[in-house]
A and B are shown apart, each in its own frame.
Chain A
Amino acid sequence: NAGVTQTPKFQVLKTGQSMTLQCAQDMNHNSMYWYRQDPGMGLRLIYYSASEGTTDKGEVPNGYNVSRLNKREFSLRLESAAPSQTSVYFCASSELYSHNEQFFGPGTRLTVL
Chain B
Amino acid sequence: AQSVTQLDSHVSVSEGTPVLLRCNYSSSYSPSLFWYVQHPNKGLQLLLKYTSAATLVKGINGFEAEFKKSETSFHLTKPSAHMSDAAEYFCVVSVGGSQGNLIFGKGTKLSVKP
- A and B found bound together: yes
Interface residues of A (CB under 8 A from B): 4, 31, 33, 35, 40-45, 48, 50, 56, 58, 90, 92, 94-107
Closest to A44 in B: B104
The answer to whether A98 touches B104 (Cβ under 8 A) is: no
Majority secondary structure of chain B interface residues (helix, strand, loop or mixed) = loop
Is B81 part of the contact surface with A, judged by Cβ < 8 Å?
A: no
**Option from A35, A42, A50 in Cβ contact (under 8 Å) with B107:** A42
Inter-chain contact A99/B32, CB cutoff 8 Å = yes
Q: Do A100 and B100 touch across chains, with their CB atoms under 8 A apart? A: yes
Which residues on B sit within 8 Å (CB–CB) of A48? 99, 101
Q: How far is the CA of A78 from the CA of B22 in the complex (A)?
A: 36
B45 partner residues in chain A, CB cutoff 8 A: 104
| List of B residues within 8 angstroms of A58 by Cβ | 101
Q: Tell me if B114 counts as interface (CB < 8 A to partner A).
A: no
Whether B42 contacts A106 by the Cβ 8 Å rule is yes
Per-position binary interface string of chain B over residues 14-55, scored 1 when its CB falls under 8 Å from any chain A CB and 0 otherwise: 000000000000000000101010000011111001011000
Closest chain-B Cβ to A6's Cβ sits at a distance in Å of 9
Residue B95 at the A interface, CB < 8 A? Answer: yes
B90 to A43, Cβ gap below 8 A? yes
Q: CB-CB < 8 A to A45: which residues of B? A: 101-102
Minimum Cβ distance to chain B for residue A55 (Å): 11
- Min CB–CB distance A103 → chain B (angstroms): 8
User: Top 4 A-B pairs ranked by shortest CB distance?
Assistant: A42-B104, A99-B51, A98-B94, A104-B43
